[in-house]
Amino acid sequence: MGKDTIVELCIGLWILNDRITGTLEYYQMSTKDMIMRQPLSNFTGFENITTNLGQVNNSGLRWH
């Protein structure tokens, strides 16, 4: 369970009396506070612990 932040920006294009159309989209997604199980050494007597392992960022352009 993490906290997601999403940003999207869309631009629509219509050229030559709608003969050529499309959409350009920019997106950015950030997920943080990702709670996951982390394996531990057998020396501890436990197999794993639940911990906050970090953050993932994803961004890009899409053309439709």
Q: What is the pLDDT of residues 1-58, one digit of tens each?
A: 567 888 888 888 888 887 888 898 999 999 888 888 889 888 888 889 988 878 889 9
Rounded to whole angstroms, the Cα distance separating 58 from 45 reads 37
The answer to whether the pTM exceeds 0.75 is no
pLDDT tens-place string over residues 33-46: 888 888 988 888 88
DSSP classification of residue 42: G
The answer to whether the beta carbons of residues 33 and 3 sit under 8 Å apart is: yes
Rounded to whole angstroms, the Cα distance separating 26 from 22 reads 13
- Output the six-digit token pair for 1: 């369970």
